[in-house]
Amino acid sequence: MRAWRDAEPRPQYDVVIVGGGGHGLATAYYLAKEHGISNIAVLEKSYIGSGNVGRNTTIIRSNYLHPANARFYERSLKLWEGLEQDLNYNVMVSQRGVLNLFHSDGQRDAFARRGNAMRLNDIDAGLLDEAEVRRLLPYLDFDNARFPIRGGLLQPRGGTVRHDAVAWGYARGADRRGVDIIQNCEVTGIHIERGRVTGVETNRGVIRAAKVALCCAGNSSRVATMAGLRLPIESHVMQAFVTESVKPLVDMVVTFGAGHFYISQSNRGGLVFGGDIDGYNSYAQRGNLPTVEAVMESAMALMPGLGRLRVLRQWGGLMDMSMDGSPIIGLTPVEGIYLNAGWCYGGFKATPASGWCFAWTIARNQPHELNAPFRLDRFASGHVIDEKGAGAQPNLH
Amino acid sequence: MRIHCPYCGERGVEEYSYRGDATVRRPDANGPDALERFVEYLHLRDNPAGSHQEFWQHLHGCRAWLVVQRDVRTHAIESVVAASRRVAR
Ligand SMILES: Cc1cc2nc3c(=O)[nH]c(=O)nc-3n(C[C@H](O)[C@H](O)[C@H](O)COP(=O)(O)OP(=O)(O)OC[C@H]3O[C@@H](n4cnc5c(N)ncnc54)[C@H](O)[C@@H]3O)c2cc1C
Ligand SMILES: [Zn+2]
């Protein structure tokens, strides 16, 4: 039995959602479930799961410092905790813990500060010393000459979720509530009359709608251009890797604090890991070898035993890197066009809260208090949300 | 990806540091619309899916700033000139 109908596009909908990734599908689901709006089409240029929702490394967490981020990502984590019951679908939410390692006194102080901020925001956090980390992960290179491991900041409720099951679960849930999910349907133009959106042009004809919601992740700028909008976003590429399967070894998510590297183990046994974005504009969905080398070097510095494993696959996905490293969820200068973009490399964990807040924003034509700080006009007003303090340089976030 | 530095020849991308869109220009701070122009200059980008003009610095080589024209769909380099030699617009 199909999990969702293969819908044919109809000439008109109340809401058209452009992009059938996690965020687009979650938005459709919550519009139907929470706001009673189900005359919706989700238009996906390829197949469901072909974008970043099926390319990410599946990590969920809410270990943020900035209050706007902490509140938003914690809401997302709470939604993850109830998602399987809500969708009646197994998305394999696994709260195995996320451990950020630190390697110096200065880094420990910074992590203690972050942990305290998390606790003040009612988010679980604990600071582990070296002995505690040794008990959990005895095979790390604790006495590494350059980057000895001194401890870590643990968020026990963080973990992983089976990414493509999230897309399928939301697609199935939305479809059951009447949403049309239309694959192989690329939006090629946006119709605007007197400052108001009236519909979209696609390779399968014109579709009229008074509300058009953009959830195009790495392609946000391209689609926004069709509505005459220029965004505070650059598209970059990020790579990830998976090894052959081994017996249970890494039973949590671990991040290296002295280089760009993080790792977890999939339910199939493969070690899934990655590093930083390649660092230059790209729409290629593939990266370059120097980044591969840098990731492997970091892997060896942290977990030397990894050198015995074979890497099975490597891939890349498009990141919509925003100018302050935080997402945009809200209204635009064009009436009826709503924007959900700028997720950088961390939008998978946001999927439930992003869809929930975006649905609210579309239904009521105003942001919910959780996503109000993530407005598009914050760049003009100076209210940027720069978690890293890196400034308007997308490849540094 | 390999970039041909006009001074050092063809070198791997790991020798270079990326400095972003080379088409944006610092606006006149005394202009009447300086505030809006600075918001655009600092934050807004065309981010095209195609040929992109961008700054790279040959950081681990001769340290020259370069203007590179590159197709961001394929990573194919179309042209490289020293930023100091760029024809003023
Ligand atoms: C290697 C990698 C690792 C990552 N790891 C993590 C992680 O561990 N944790 C985390 O939280 N996040 C992670 N991310 C980020 C996360 O995957 C993304 O931020 C998130 O998936 C983006 O939202 P989405 O699911 O809606 O995107 P997508 O699945 O990319 O959905 C956007 C969709 O829009 C469609 N589209 C674009 N243009 C058009 C058009 N003109 N017409 C119709 N459809 C269109 C695309 O085909 C695409 O399917 C990672 C990303 C990558 C690439
Ligand atoms: Zn040089």
pLDDT digits (tens, 9 = 90+) for B1-47: 999 999 999 999 999 999 999 999 999 999 999 999 999 999 999 99
Model confidence at A109, pLDDT cuts 50, 70, 90, reads: very high
Mean pLDDT of all residues belonging to chain A: 97
Domain range list for chain B: 2-85
Confidence of residue B89 (pLDDT cuts 50, 70, 90): low
SS3 A208: strand
**Ligand 1 and A242: CB distance under 6 A:** no
According to the model, what pLDDT value does residue B86 have?
83
Contact A318, A281 (CB under 8 A): no
Segments of chain A assigned E as strands? 12-18, 40-43, 59-60, 98-102, 126-129, 151-155, 159-160, 180-182, 187-193, 196-202, 205-214, 233-245, 253-255, 262-265, 270-281, 311-322, 328-331, 337-341
The single-letter code of the amino acid at B69 is Q
Do the chains contact at B72 and A283, CB–CB below 8 Å?
yes
C-alpha distances in Å from residue A221, one per residue of A322, B21, B46: 11, 14, 7
Q: What is the pLDDT of residues A154-191, one digit of tens each?
A: 999 999 999 999 999 999 999 999 999 999 999 999 99
Q: Is B2 exposed, middle or buried (0-12, 13-18, 19+ CB in 10 A)?
A: middle
- pLDDT tens-digit series, residues A128-164: 999 999 999 999 999 999 999 999 999 999 999 999 9
Cβ separation of B18 and A280 shorter than 8 Å? yes
Spatial contact of A256 and A262, defined as CB atoms under 8 Å apart: yes
pTM for the whole structure: 0.97
How many residues comprise chain A? Answer: 397
**Å from B45 to nearest chain A CA?**
6
Residue type, A24: G
> Rounded CA gap, A220 and A51, in Å?
13
Chain A residue numbers touching B44 (CB-CB < 8 A): 230-232, 379
pLDDT at A19: 98
Contacts of B36 in chain A (CB under 8 A): 380
Residues in A touching B54 (Cβ below 8 Å): 280-281
Structure ipTM: 0.96
Q: How far apart are CA A62 and CA A124, in angstroms?
A: 9
b/e per residue, A204-240, with b = 16+ CB within 10 A? eeebebebbbbbbbbbbbbbbbbbebebbbbbbbbbb
Look at residue A1 and tell me whether its pLDDT is greater than 80.
Answer: no
- Look up the CATH architecture of domain B2-85: 2-Layer Sandwich (3.30)
Interface size A-B, in CB pairs within 8 Å, comes to: 70
